[in-house]
């Protein structure tokens, strides 16, 4: 099976149905998880049996949908590959939110050929919002097409961001950048899920979103959805692909350049 022979729209719909099944399990378990079920992969990065079981359910279903694709997954419950045709999966993006019963957490599934994004599906489980896209097919929220408004001013938008768990960043520089946004936008939001943040850019809820020290499974699906909505997304000011960078910037086309300029000034020039 080659990329050209893949029926991307059909596969996307199959993935949407699979995430609905996994999301129902996830939602049903939220009141059953106890502190004894939680472990730390690293400081402030938590995992529970729900993450692992959801990943196993996704892997099993995706093997049936596209048997020729490998896997790159957060929890590593199956053999991992980093190149070629592969599913990139975060079974529970926003684990900390989930474990604290904050209703913003998502399933993120993407299909890539090398760095080319083919399919992206993000299901925000608590509110049953399913964002989906396939290459050349547009972006959708619960099957309703998404697009960007023609014009947008920085002062009229919300900014989404997040903070690395490992604290391996210049906190003062980050706070200085936040000060700029506070003075030039309608405000800043931190949702606790990179996949959801990206989808909020695609849906026009955020004018821009940026974050550093992320993993491919955090951004793989959301980046495709952003791009297919008509917004711009890169692996940071160098313009690379998000799945091969530890930084991401997604923005409405009218805001990308000003956002990139300020991020370079406050974060990269400060290094």
- Structure tokens belonging to residue 184: 């030039």
Cα distances from 194 to residues 4, 81, 162, 269, in angstroms, run: 30, 22, 8, 24
Share of the chain above pLDDT 70, in %: 90
Q: In this structure, are strands 138-141 and 144-146 parallel, antiparallel, or unpaired?
A: antiparallel
Q: What is the pLDDT of residues 151-186, one digit of tens each?
A: 999 999 999 999 877 666 688 999 999 999 999 999
Closest by CA to 166, choosing from 109, 246, 248, is 246
HSE value, Cβ hemisphere, 13 Å, CA-based, for 78: 24
Q: Give mean pLDDT, residues 217-242.
A: 94
Q: What is the pLDDT of residues 57-97, one digit of tens each?
A: 999 999 999 999 999 998 888 999 999 999 999 999 998 89
**Top-confidence residue, 270 or 59:** 59
Position 44 confidence tier, pLDDT thresholds 50, 70, 90? very low
CATH class of 3-146: alpha beta
Q: Does the predicted TM-score (pTM) go above 0.85?
A: yes
Are the C-beta atoms of 70 and 87 separated by less than 8 Å? Answer: yes
Beta partners for residue 90, in sequence order: 108
Domain extent listing, the chain: 3-146, 154-268
Q: What is the pLDDT of residues 11-27, one digit of tens each?
A: 999 999 999 999 999 99
Are the C-beta atoms of 89 and 58 separated by less than 8 Å? Answer: yes
Q: Give the CATH fold of the 154-268 domain.
A: D-Maltodextrin-Binding Protein; domain 2 (3.40.190)
């Amino acid at each position: 099976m080659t990329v050209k022979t893949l029926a991307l729209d059909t596969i996307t719909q199959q993935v949407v149905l699979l995430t609905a099944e996994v999301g129902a399990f996830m939602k049903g378990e939220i009141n059953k998880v106890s502190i004894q079920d939680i472990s730390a992969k690293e400081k402030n990065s938590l995992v529970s049996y729900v993450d692992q079981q959801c990943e196993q359910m996704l892997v099993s279903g995706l093997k049936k949908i596209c048997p020729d694709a490998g896997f790159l997954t957060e929890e590593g419950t199956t053999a991992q590959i980093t190149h070629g045709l592969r599913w990139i999966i975060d079974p529970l993006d926003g684990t900390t939110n989930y474990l604290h019963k904050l209703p913003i957490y998502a399933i993120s599934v993407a299909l890539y050929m090398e760095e080319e994004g083919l399919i992206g599906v993000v299901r925000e489980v608590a509110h049953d919002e399913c964002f989906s896209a396939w290459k050349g097919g547009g972006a959708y929220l619960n099957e309703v097409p998404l697009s960007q408004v023609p014009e947008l001013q920085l002062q009229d938008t919300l900014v989404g961001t997040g903070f690395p768990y490992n604290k391996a960043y210049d906190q003062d520089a980050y706070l200085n950048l936040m000060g700029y946004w506070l003075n030039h936008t309608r405000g800043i939001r931190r949702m606790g899920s990179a996949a959801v943040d990206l989808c909020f850019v695609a849906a026009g809820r955020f004018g821009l979103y940026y974050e550093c020290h992320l993993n491919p499974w955090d951004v793989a699906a959301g980046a495709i959805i952003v791009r297919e909505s008509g917004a711009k997304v890169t692996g940071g000011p160098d313009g690379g692909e998000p799945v091969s960078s530890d930084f991401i910037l997604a923005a409405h086309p009218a805001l990308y350049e000003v956002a990139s300029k300020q991020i370079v000034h406050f974060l990269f020039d400060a290094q």
